[in-house]
Amino acid sequence: MTEPVALSAVWSREPLPSGTSQVNYVLIQAKPHHVPTVQAAPPLNFCLVLDRSGSMAGDKIQHLREAVREIVANLRPIDAVSIVLFDDTLEVLVPARLADDLPALQNAIESIGEQGGTAMSLGLQAGLAELQKFQAADRVGRVLLLTDGQTWGDEDTCRDLAKQIGDLGVSITALGLGTEWNEALLDDLATASNGESDYIADPSQISKYFQQTLQSAQTTTVVNARLLLRLLPGVTPRAVYRVQPTIANLGYKPIGEREVTVSIGEIAGDGASVLVDVMLPEREAGTFRIAQAELQYDAPVLGIKEGKIKIDIPLSFNVDPKASVVNPPIMNTVEKVTAFKLQTRALSEAEAGNIGSATQKLRAAATRLLDLGETELAQTMEQSAQQLEAGGQIAAADQKALRYATRKLTQKLEE
């Protein structure tokens, strides 16, 4: 039987000079052999958890209704759908059901209106209950969470509920609209469920982000993916970053003397990739297996539970340092990850009041972004550095743009 994904590994430099310890990067990619069409995709268990607090009045609520209408219009009769609305109260607008009666769903959507404050945990609790009605091994579960404001006093409850949703095998796509929401909280909710978080600057873009979420769910090939790395003695992983579909510091969990594991979650569309930063010990000239990568996964559409794919990761060493060849696409990815790391550290330094360090890192990131052709984002970095130097704070919109735009630098990897 053909595996649902192909696993490959490419080094940033090879061969390496022999006789010295050194750093190298390896890009490990998991790409689907076949992306299912919408009609051939596994059935979904799709839950929308939507903020309808008073701050959603006007264009926001209008665009939200339009986006939800488009979502349900693109579901199939075999897909399960539920819609939960929250403010400081709760309404389960559409209890979990099959999407086989479009007029009834569209009629329900017309009643979405704004009111009250914001208590996100109410929505997540109800969303979890609705998901449990249909979640099964052969369904791809997804929560689409949208909010435009802060939730007060229930952040830890939200985090606990996100973990429960993740434990159910469902990922959360957490979307923040405008500038008044808590990005740290939405990031935590996404991370706890192996999902994604993102920033919507303009209400007119809600539908685009909703459709991207639905498309990701519909093209999911593999779920519960975990990457296990078995390392040669002396090989030390320094960091592991996801680079596709977006950049994130995944960290890693040691599970033995020379084994580490990384959680990847779903693999959809163009696949998933991780960049591993490793310190290599001295080696003599020759080719050696540095590591073995094992992808563990479930593939509901193929009826596969606890599938495994293994590949060896060899690396060559040469006595002539000039023989070393750089792989430009991988180094381009390394530069994008570096820009992301600098931005992340800069915002942390700014929050801690270390203005000099924050501005230095912002400008270092801006330089890399200019080299990568990301002119607009580089300008936002420079403007933010100037705001800090002038004694001010980074504008909320700029801060969110920096945080989320740098995550997307690798969405189109160099070929």
State the pLDDT at residue 318.
97
| CA angle centred on 213, ends 263 and 198, rounded to 5° | 70
| Of residues 236, 261, 265, the one with CA closest to residue 251 | 261
Q: What is the pLDDT of residues 201-231, one digit of tens each?
A: 999 999 999 999 999 999 998 988 999 999 9
Mean pLDDT by 10 residues, the chain (415 residues): 88 96 97 81 94 96 98 97 97 98 96 94 98 92 96 96 95 96 95 94 97 94 93 94 94 87 91 96 96 93 88 97 94 97 96 95 96 95 94 91 95 56
For residue 3, the model assigns a pLDDT of 85
Query: Which architecture, in CATH terms, is 1-326?
Result: 3-Layer(aba) Sandwich (3.40)
Residues 6+ apart with CB under 8 A from 194: 166, 171, 263, 264, 265, 266
Q: Give me the pLDDT at residue 28, please.
A: 98
How confident is the model at residue 256, as a pLDDT? 79
Report the pLDDT value the prediction gives residue 414, as an integer from 0 to 100: 45
Instruction: Show the DSSP H helices in 145-200 as ranges.
Output: 155-167, 183-192
Map out the domains of the chain as residue ranges: 1-326, 328-408
Q: Collect contacts of 184-189 with beta carbons under 8 A, ≥24 apart.
A: 185/151, 185/155, 185/158, 185/159, 186/145, 186/147, 188/159, 188/162, 189/124, 189/145, 189/158, 189/159, 189/162
Residues 6+ apart with CB under 8 A from 138: 42, 43, 300, 301, 303
Q: Nearest-CA neighbor of 291 among 271, 311, 261, 318?
A: 311
**pTM assigned to the model:** 0.92
First-to-last alpha carbon distance for the chain, in angstroms, is: 29
CA distance 76 to 101: 10
